Amino acid sequence: MIYIDGIVFSLQQHGGISVYFHELYSRLVAANAKAKLLIHEKSELNVTLSSLDNKQGLVQKKSRPLERYMRSDVDSDCVFHSSYYRIPSLTVPTVTTVHDFTYEKLVSGPRKWVHVWQKNESIKKSDVVICISNNTAKDLMQYCKVEESKIEIVYNGVSECYRPLSDYDLTTEQVLFVGSRTGHKNFKIAAQAVSQCSFLELTVIGGGGFTKREKAFLDEIMPGRYRHMGHLSNKQLNYMYNSSYCLLYPSSYEGFGIPIIEAMRAGCPVIAINASSIPEVAGEAALLVERPDIRLLADALKNLKIGRERERLVRAGLEQANKFSWQKCFEETYRIYERLQ
């Protein structure tokens, strides 16, 4: 029995970790594997979980106080895989997936201390620790001493919904910025880079609505040349990738960077930073600048109009994206489950 602790579905409405466990569990069900997915009351608010086609094996329990920090109740004959650093109530074979070390690198104070303590406890008590990139595995060895023999690299995938819409030319002069706008995502730098290219507009997807401060900043540097869109379905986001000048992804730190591969699979050129896991995931198929700098990013945006650079990036991106799939991620993860059973 594979027992997936779906605590993450009650911690966020949507997000990369929710997508990861949705993809794993839906494939377990499709493969007729013996599997359970534990969810809690607040999970019904999760957009990703609500799209699960087959709800076979779902086990719903009432949330306890501080549920996210409690041990997860499990059956004695299972392989346990928590979606967010929880420990099983019984001693059973345990898998933990480590996505990144954002808290360790970029957060301070009590939030960091609690997160790091829980993560380290989960890692130390696991039989296998899955890292979603080699860069994350390197960070793991730095921040949490663990036997290298316990580490497995299993890359994230990308939804098959993303594809070129080649029946007609959709390309516009909009630059996409996808996801969170917190500090290390370098949103202000991205906006300033776009503002220096008078032929371009900025479209922001997800990450919550603009704050008053963000809106005032954008009105000052690029009035009338920006818009915000909320959370989009894969189909809607695929259309946006297809109809955009490029994806601008100037994050300084990523455990993987799923939007990079989504954009590439849709035939959308990518401009990103040559840092953390990004060069590992993007390969030679993106325009990578050495640091999040306004001038460097603006130059990269302008370079997409030169000669056949855009065509080269689209072709290279489609080839690079073929290296990643959720089915491959599932198969490699399932072999780990089988080894522990």
Contacts of 147 by beta carbon, 8 Å cutoff, 6+ apart: none
**pLDDT tens for each residue of 7-20:** 999 988 888 899 99
Assign 166 a pLDDT band (cuts: 50, 70, 90): confident
- Measure Cα distances from 132 to 77, 122, 182 in Å: 27, 16, 21
**pLDDT tens for each residue of 220-253:** 999 999 999 988 999 999 999 999 999 999 999 9
Evaluate if residue 324 carries a pLDDT over 80.
yes
**pLDDT tens for each residue of 78-107:** 999 999 999 999 999 999 999 999 999 999
- Measure Cα distances from 299 to 201, 305, 307 in Å: 15, 10, 14
**pLDDT tens for each residue of 31-66:** 999 999 998 877 877 878 877 777 778 888 888 899
pTM score of the predicted model: 0.94
**pLDDT tens for each residue of 169-220:** 666 899 999 999 999 999 999 999 999 999 999 999 999 999 999 999 999 9
- Whole-number Å distance between alpha carbons of 275 and 251: 8
Dihedral pair phi/psi, residue 164, rounded to 5°: -70, 135
pLDDT at 169: 63
pLDDT at 46: 81
Extract long-range pairs of 285-290: CB within 8 Å, 24+ residues apart: 285/313, 285/316, 285/317, 285/319, 285/320, 285/321, 286/260, 286/313, 286/317, 287/313, 289/250
pLDDT at 129: 98
pLDDT at 335: 98
Dihedral pair phi/psi, residue 159, rounded to 5°: -65, 145
Structure tokens at 119: 């993560």
Assign 167 a pLDDT band (cuts: 50, 70, 90): low
Contacts of 109 by beta carbon, 8 Å cutoff, 6+ apart: none
pLDDT at 172: 82
Asked if residues 179 and 185 have their Cβ atoms less than 8 Å apart, the reply is yes
- Whole-number Å distance between alpha carbons of 241 and 174: 10
Percent of the chain with pLDDT strictly greater than 90 = 84
Asked if residues 271 and 193 have their Cβ atoms less than 8 Å apart, the reply is no
Evaluate if residue 168 carries a pLDDT over 60.
no
- Whole-number Å distance between alpha carbons of 285 and 315: 8
Percent of the chain with pLDDT strictly greater than 70 = 98
Query: Average model confidence (pLDDT) for the chain?
Result: 94
Domains of the chain: 2-157+325-340 (3.40.50.2000), 174-321 (3.40.50.2000)
| Amino acid sitting at position 140 | L
pLDDT at 49: 81
Evaluate if residue 297 carries a pLDDT over 70.
yes
